[in-house]
Structure 1
């Protein structure tokens, strides 16, 4: 059985003509509300930057492995990949530390009238809708508006006031970061009421995200560089001391032929040679660690340079108007139908 439900358009048209005044008044009210809402929402602009990360590939890694093998060394975990997954980039940009850093970025508006940090700009130099202003006035005030960073034992925590929590949430909501899984291109966008501020902030987000990823990828290698630098300096100092002891003893006993002097001289020479070998090994490991830092440092190509947007992306007043006109029509139709029920003709086909 197939059932077709069909609205009798003729009767619907009759309903509209019968309650024409109701439809006109409702549509006028809906249009007025739409215009009030549309012109109350501040204009916003979107700036975008696209990055293409270039991996260093296996060339340098293969060279390091070949060098270490040639010298009879095993770098082991030094060659492990410390890459951060692109899927984590949105989590990085939403982290409190990252957002706190962005709140301190210096910005300047397009008309050059405002030049301050991003936090002050958002708090004092941005517009809001009248209903949001009304809500903020009747909401309880948060007297403590400072950002505190406290240290508890070995753990660092961030304590935010309600105002600052909402501020960081607004910053987070204004930033979008996506990664194309096929091409690997990272797209970062920032929405703001001022086009120049949007462009400045998207460039700052790009720079800070690059620095974070670079620091993350090279952290272990940089720790290795620091460790082997200390070990090399200690080994070099020990070698110099051993060489000085050997030289002093040899100079003082060069004319003596006693076997005991020769044995002591050989022992000092062996100590010096051992110290030299240890120093050379740490020197090689230090160079390998430095090469690893270069290998792990990502290179980014800017596919799309951030530009100051010319056209706003919101509010779309025409869409708001159409939505409210449609809503007004539906409300009018339901009210008219309640006053004069319209029979819905159902035709059944078996």
Structure 2
């Protein structure tokens, strides 16, 4: 009974405290309403100061390249080639490379050079467009001190003016590095290792430009992965193709040599002529067999190049967004109003007492 009484008494104290808090806030409701009003005004100012941003998302999924590889593996084994093929696990591994590829400088430089269209301009490259995107007014205000310091420092030292039009990946200028960072902020790639789904997201202030950049980024990523996966197979194919050309030339030469000798000695019945003719015929047969076998190997390697190419299923293609993704004005206004209520309530309940106690302590010390 004693524990129950203690719990009941504690609950009663909590209820009394809550009632006291509510009464204290109710007495200062005018100040709370003023704070909420100021929060709403700040929320409106900030939400309308942020530029509209349109988001485009493209979803990709890898498809297994195992179908139809058993027959190709059988043919490859006939010619003494390995029958291993690119399976789903390898496809998933290459898709996991997408986020890393986007961060690389060569990929960023290629994307920056793509031509795009906007609602205002028809012909502009992404490199130039990124410099036209608007910023909130406080970004310019915060940048004034840095500009002033940079202007003062420029009076005491000579800095080369960046007039470079070509881009050298080995030695980038400050402006080029800045554009690469801007691109990395607006282009994001995420890969889900469980489902192997890859999401490419582009956020720009122009909806048409966002859709074009997202679609171009996906195509570039596909090219990078395809080149990565087929590079070894292409090298083997090119090497075998050169061998085939060499064997083809030797076969034609042996064929012409045999034909010329046979035509020149058509009615001649001599043992030396017969022996030479048999030798040339054996050389022709051997050259034909080598050429035929090398052509078979070339066909297998051609199939391996095709087999190594990853298949990309575009689950969600790029579309021009009709409405901006941000800023969410109503959410910002509500958030500022709520924060104003919290801060004002904290000041009424605790801040005033702490302030007065601190002020009295200072008076006592004086």
What TM-score, normalized by structure 1, do the two folds share?
Answer: 0.82
Change (3 A) 1:308 1:237: same
More deviation in 247-256 or 308-317?
247-256
* 1:132-171 superposed matches below 5 A: 132-137=139-144, 138-139=146-147, 140=150, 143-144=161-162, 146=164, 150=168, 157-171=169-183
Instruction: State the partner residue of 2:47.
Output: 38
Structure 2 alignment gaps of length 5 or more = 152-158, 356-366
More deviation in 181-190 or 73-82?
73-82
1:57, 1:326 → 2: CA distance?
56
Instruction: State the partner residue of 2:127.
Output: 119
Does the CA-based 8 Å contact 1:107-1:197 persist in structure 2?
yes
1:308, 1:288 → 2: CA distance?
43
The structure with the largest strand share of the pair is: 1
Aligned alpha-carbon RMSD (Å): 3.1
More deviation in 268-277 or 95-104?
268-277
Change (3 A) 1:38 1:114: farther
Instruction: State the partner residue of 1:66.
Output: 74
Instruction: State the partner residue of 2:82.
Output: 76
The structure with the largest helix share of the pair is: 2
- CA deviations over 1:294-323 (Å, ceiling 9, x no partner): 222333333223221122211122222233
Instruction: State the partner residue of 1:307.
Output: 319
Q: 1:214 aligns with which of 226, 230, 253?
A: 226
**Structure 2 residue matching 1:205: 3-state secondary structure:** helix
* 1:1-350 superposed matches below 5 A: 6=14, 8-20=17-29, 22-59=31-68, 61-69=69-77, 72-76=78-82, 79=85, 83=91, 84-110=93-119, 112-113=120-121, 115-124=123-132, 126-137=133-144, 138-139=146-147, 140=150, 143-144=161-162, 146=164, 150=168, 157-336=169-348, 337-340=350-353
Structure 1 alignment gaps of length 5 or more = 151-156, 343-350
More deviation in 1-10 or 306-315?
1-10
Runs of 4+ in 1 over 6 A off after TM superposition: 1-5
**Structure 1 residue matching 2:52: 3-state secondary structure:** coil
- CA deviations over 1:213-232 (Å, ceiling 9, x no partner): 22222222222221111111
- CA deviations over 1:75-119 (Å, ceiling 9, x no partner): 127756674532211112222222212112222223x44541111
Does the CA-based 8 Å contact 1:145-1:162 persist in structure 2?
no
**Structure 1 residue matching 2:320: 3-state secondary structure:** coil
Change (3 A) 1:136 1:275: farther
1:301, 1:255 → 2: CA distance?
68
User: CA shift at 1:283, angstroms?
Assistant: 0.7
What TM-score, normalized by structure 2, do the two folds share?
Answer: 0.78
Does the CA-based 8 Å contact 2:86-2:307 persist in structure 1?
no
1:104, 1:115 → 2: CA distance?
12
The structure whose Rg is larger is 2
Does the CA-based 8 Å contact 1:145-1:163 persist in structure 2?
no
**Structure 2 residue matching 1:57: 3-state secondary structure:** coil
User: CA shift at 1:257, angstroms?
Assistant: 4.6
1:135, 1:258 → 2: CA distance?
103
User: CA shift at 1:200, angstroms?
Assistant: 1.4
2:122, 2:40 → 1: CA distance?
36
1:190, 1:145 → 2: CA distance?
29
- CA deviations over 1:45-65 (Å, ceiling 9, x no partner): 111222333323241x21112
1:145, 1:328 → 2: CA distance?
49
More deviation in 316-325 or 247-256?
247-256
2:21, 2:165 → 1: CA distance?
61
